[in-house]
Structure 1
Amino acid sequence: MSSTSTSMTIQPPGVTDAADEQLERGVLGTSAIVFMVLAVAAPLAVVVALMPIALAFGNGAGVPGAWILGGIAMLLFAVGYVRQIPFVKNAGAFYAYISASFSRSIGLPAAYVAAVSYLALCLSTLAALAFFCSDLFALVSGVSTPWQLWAAISIVIVAILAYHRITLVATVLSVALVAEIAMIMLLNLAIIVQKGLPAFNLQDFAPSSVFGPGLGIALIYAFNSMIGFESTAIYQEEAKNRKVTIPRATYIAVLVAGLLYALTAWCLSTSIGSLEVAKVAGADPGHFVTARANDFLGAWSAHLFSVLVVTSSFAAVLGLFNNSARYIYALARDGVLPQRLAKTHPVYKSPHVAAVFLAIVLSVVTAVAAIAGLDPLLNIAPMFVGLGSVGLMTLLALTALGVPLFFARRGTYGLATTVAPALGGIAIAVATWLAITNYSALTGVDSPLVSSLPWVLVVVALAGGVQALWLRSSHPQAYERIGASRIEDPLE
């Protein structure tokens, strides 16, 4: 940590030492970025925790179609999103894209909302991870351990990995992701083989089924499982041939996730039957998937699912932690947060100071929650998951709707640059509104305190807007740096 002990030179806002704030260039290929993005989505956690709720309280057998609709909307968004990559060269993703499409005065509030949202999802997943670790350890050893211990251990491991080279993180996430997807596909295959293809009813994808009662609830979970795919752009400064790698990784991530979720929902529905799946899933959503695994794979699979839920949650925490660190790093590098947070490691070129800062924040919040006697799964996870999900869904809709505006200002109109992203943005905006108006369905708890948390995002956005206006009037050079390009393309 030698680089963090450099002198604290006071500089005007927006003036930084470029030599100490460069991420490692050209080290991430398409597969590495896909692994990191999908790991954040935590497919196994989505299948085990969210999908049964969608089947129970959504549109039942039409849930696979809801995931198809979500995937189509994300693809429409991605078509325009990747077209903007040559113009937006910054690890800030939402922050840089919204600044370029609308204005810096809107981009900076979006950046703070994004940072808080990723941090909230990281806290939510960390709490769930700590619970699962404690539960698994008790199952294996018979010894009860406090969840706070596992939260502390997880924070230390995540911080160490984030402190080192990004390729180490990519390797860890790839191993975890392959294991959980393999388990999901094994269950799907077992259902297909044992039930037989004739059991799979194409009527489940008919409009009458997909657009039936409960579609809004199902769409909330479908879109919630897909937020995070925009984070491919977070890694464009570290990507090999970013103009090829980032679009390819974005399309692959959206297609793989959308098809995987739709297939899995269809298999789970077919394992019970289209007419009965909502009733069975609603009776015990927490054990619905493990019960299917026990029926179609055997008792051993339930134990393996318990282990893989832990590794899946850890991978998601690690991925969300890295996303948060890069947002903080990008903001500090642009001069709107303390410059020290923009320092990168002299050897690993990681945003190590931002990572240490985040680890401290996670530790403090965990300690406060422990002192308050909050339950990790019943209190902490629901409290933060809704906050982070609504924040990112809002930014996703704003980013998508900003793409056609960005190209229209340049006189560029077309299916890919204006029509597709506009349609995708409208669909995501509708899903966001559904999530806000059905917030208790998203969090799983009916608490006035939890339901009021989205106002935190409004406060954060207002604070960012005030800072942007102040910078524009008092420090115009710093204002111009908001969301600025940070990559020199040799062929441009």
Structure 2
Amino acid sequence: MSVPDPGAPAGDVSATLARARLGVWPVVFIVMAAAAPLTVVAGGATTGYAVTGVTGIPVAYLAVAVALGLFSVGYVAMSRRVVNSGAFYSYVSRGLGRVPGVGASFVAVVAYATMQVGLYGGFGAVLAGRLQDWLGWPVPWVVCAFAAWAVIAVLGVRRIDLNGRVLAVILLVEIAAAAVFAGVHLTHPADGGVTVDTLALSHLVGAGIGAALVTAVAGFVGFEGTAVFSEESKDPQRTVAKATYRAVAIIGLLYAFCAWAMSVATGPEHIVEAARADGTDLIFTLAAPYVGAFVVGLGQALFVTSLFAALLAFHHTVARYLFALGRERVLPAVLGRTSIRTRAPKVGSLVQSALAASVLVVYAVAGWDPIVHLFFWLTVAGGLGVLILMTTTSIAVIAYFTRPANRDSISVWRRLIAPALAATALLWILAATIGQFHTLLGVEPDDPLRWIFPSAYAVAAVLGMLWALLLRTAKPDVYTGIGRGANSVTTGPATPLGQPVSAPAANGR
């Protein structure tokens, strides 16, 4: 039985998430909503073409999908042994040790919070533009962003299965829309006809590929959230595995297909020019002559709802990371409180809402560009942070399964070969990304900005590790509980870090 936080008001909060609320497809819907397919196709792919000048964006999506498929093999194997909403944090803690684990947790919070806040810039600017076009209303972008913020602040403390249904509806409609627009593009190719030039493997060794790959990685961010919802899944041993593989496959094929289709419609040699001219409207302007104004308007509306769905999904992810760290007392215990009615991570959700509001106010007062400086820069920076986490986690999986006690029934493919291949591929992508980060930001090679974002994660990791060392000395009981998940708030002896942790028993609601 869980032990409530002594400082929590009776009947208001608890220290456990809702159990057995989510099946496989609801988890797929939530994490794919975070990946925001239509947002990536309309915004990420076109911006990738425009900013990097690389025509191989479609093959970059396929390459990243393969790398993340390999990563998922070890990730899923780990999820069956360690059921914890802390995901990356828990896996690194149990594979590489508590000190690196807390360092990873700080990186995770910064990465996901950055990603979520950055999406407000895209939502606010796009919705403001649509209202101007449709109704003639000149609404400031920050007003639109705060409208979304208010709804998400409420939904963030509601039942997760309710949020899953909302996201499922939005997701299915936006995937259908993306597929329809891609079909129109393919059936109306440029003068040269249908080509596969942008899918050529030669692009993977060309100039600017690092920037293209991090653009692709950013589009996948969210799929790994399957493990974040493991404690709320009906069958964590199977749900996380099925949801992870399905999400990677669907996302990868959809992104590559749609990005390729746009290049067919413009001609491979003109896709960069077209993306720079039309921006996020490219997917719609290419189809407009053939589908009519109503369909284009519907697609543009779905672009807005896609951004909203991603905002909501990432909000849930940040809240659950904060919950996991609060529950284990790595961060203030108040973050480990959940609503007794909905079992949502109430305090973590409210903290993320407060952070987002603060950033929006700063951007509005400073007059900074919401698309470039908030949406693009922060979501790309968030993608870089998640890439760092996935690379570290692949290494942690190998370390975890090298211990004889953890090898039982785990094949050498799942515990060693696939994670090693994933770590190699991800390290290569990470090195290429950091080396060409200035291209992605659109700044000169000697601009300090190219190092500020990567350095922020190094600082977060170091601070996290120093904090873990302090906990080891000042609060050894808290230090012992790092990475134990729900077991950190249960009675009974701690499970050694090298041993698997089973899913906690369901609590009454």
TM-score (norm 1): 0.90
Distance, in Å, in 2 between the alignment partners of 1:128 and 1:386 is 13
Say if 1:456 and 1:64 are closer, same or farther in 2 by CA, change over 3 A. closer
Distance 1:360 1:277, change over 3 A: closer
Give the fraction of aligned pairs with identical amino acids, expressed as a percent: 32
Alpha-carbon offset, residue 406 of structure 1:
1.5
Q: By how many angstroms is 1:373 displaced?
A: 2.6
User: 1:62 offset after TM fit, Å?
Assistant: 3.9
Q: Provide the residue aligned with 2:477 in structure 1.
A: 477
Q: Residues 445 and 210 (structure 1 numbering): CA distance in 2 closer, same or farther, change over 3 Å?
A: closer
Task: Identify the residue that residue 426 of structure 1 maps to in structure 2.
Answer: 424
| SS of structure 1 residue aligned to 2:385 | helix
**Is the CA contact (8 Å cut-off) linking 1:385 and 1:443 kept in structure 2?**
no
Deviation at 1:82, TM superposition (A): 0.5
1:373-384 paired onto structure 2 within 5 Å: 373-384=367-378
| Distance (Å, rounded) in 1 between the aligned partners of 2:49 and 2:141 | 30
1:201 alignment counterpart: 195
**Offset of residue 210 of structure 1:** 5.2
- 1:161 matched residue in structure 2: 155
- The separation in 1 between residues aligned to 2:452 and 2:26, in whole angstroms, is 38
Correspondence 1:267 to 2:279: no
Describe the SS at the equivalent of 1:8.
coil
CA RMSD of aligned residues (A): 2.7
Question: What CA distance in whole angstroms lies between the structure 2 residues aligned with 1:113 and 1:460?
Answer: 6
Runs of 5+ unmatched residues, structure 2: 487-501
**Matches of 2:153 and 2:220, distance apart in 1:** 25
Q: Is the Cα–Cα contact under 8 Å of residues 115 and 383 in structure 2 kept in the other structure? A: yes
Q: Distance in 2 between matches of 1:131 and 1:276?
A: 26
SS of equivalent residue, structure 1 residue 24:
coil
* 1:328 matches 2:322: yes
1:40 to 2:34 alignment:
yes
Measured after TM superposition, the shift of residue 435 of structure 1 is 2.1
Q: Distance in 1 between matches of 2:437 and 2:461?
A: 20
2:434 maps to 436
The 8 Å contact of residues 83 and 231 in structure 2, kept in 1 or not, is answered as yes
- Residue equivalent to 2:490: none
1:278 and 1:263, CA in 2 relative to 1: closer, same or farther beyond 3 A?
Answer: same
Corresponding position of 1:3: none
How far off its partner does 1:111 sit? 0.5
Partner residue of 1:416?
A: 414
Query: What is aligned with 1:92?
Result: 86
Of residues 180-189 and 144-153 in structure 1, the stretch that sits farther from structure 2 once superposed is: 144-153
Looking at structure 2, the residues matched to 52 and 488 of structure 1 have their Cα atoms a distance apart, in angstroms, of 42
Distance 1:394 1:328, change over 3 A: same
In the alignment, which residue of structure 1 is the partner of 2:359?
365
Provide the C-alpha distance between the structure 2 equivalents of 1:296 and 1:430, rounded to a whole number of angstroms.
42
> Are the counterparts in 2 of residues 382 and 445 from structure 1 also a CA contact under 8 Å?
no
Show the counterpart of 1:8: 7
Cα distance in 2 for partners of 1:271, 1:169 equals 36
Instruction: Please state if 1:456 is matched with 2:420.
Output: no
Separation of aligned partners in 2, 1:337 and 1:50 = 34
Task: Name the CA shift for 1:231/1:137 in 2 (closer, same or farther; >3 Å).
Answer: same
Q: C-alpha distance in 2, partners of 1:220/1:9? A: 42
Letter in 1 for 2:115: L
1-side partners of 2:8 and 2:172: how far apart? 45
Once residues 102 and 185 of structure 2 are traced to their aligned partners in structure 1, the CA distance between those partners, rounded to angstroms, is 48
CA distance in 2, matches of 1:66, 1:129: 25
Structure 2 residue aligned with 1:31: 25
CA distance in 2, matches of 1:57, 1:381: 14
Q: TM-score, normalised by structure 2?
A: 0.87
Aligned residues: 479
Q: Secondary structure at the match of 1:151?
A: helix
Is contact 2:189-2:266 (8 Å) kept? Answer: no
Q: Is the 8 A contact 2:8 2:337 kept in 1?
A: no
Residue 150 (1) aligns with residue 148 (2): no
Structure 2 residue 300 is matched with structure 1 residue 309: no
8 A Cα contact 1:79 1:420, kept in partner: yes
Which residue number in structure 2 is paired with residue 253 of structure 1?
A: 247
Distance in 1 between residues matched to 2:142 and 2:377, nearest whole Å? 17
Aligned partners of 1:386 and 1:439 also within 8 Å: no
Q: Superposed, which structure 2 residues align to 1:4-403 within 5 Å?
A: 8=7, 20-55=14-49, 62-195=56-189, 199-202=193-196, 205-208=199-202, 211-403=205-397
| Aligned equivalents of 2:81, 2:225: Cα separation in 1 | 17
Quick one: distance in 1 between partners of 2:153 and 2:209?
A: 39
The secondary structure found in structure 2 opposite 1:84 is helix
Bigger mean CA deviation after superposition, 401-410 or 27-36:
401-410
Looking at structure 2, the residues matched to 417 and 432 of structure 1 have their Cα atoms a distance apart, in angstroms, of 22
Aligned-partner residue type, residue 426 of structure 1: T
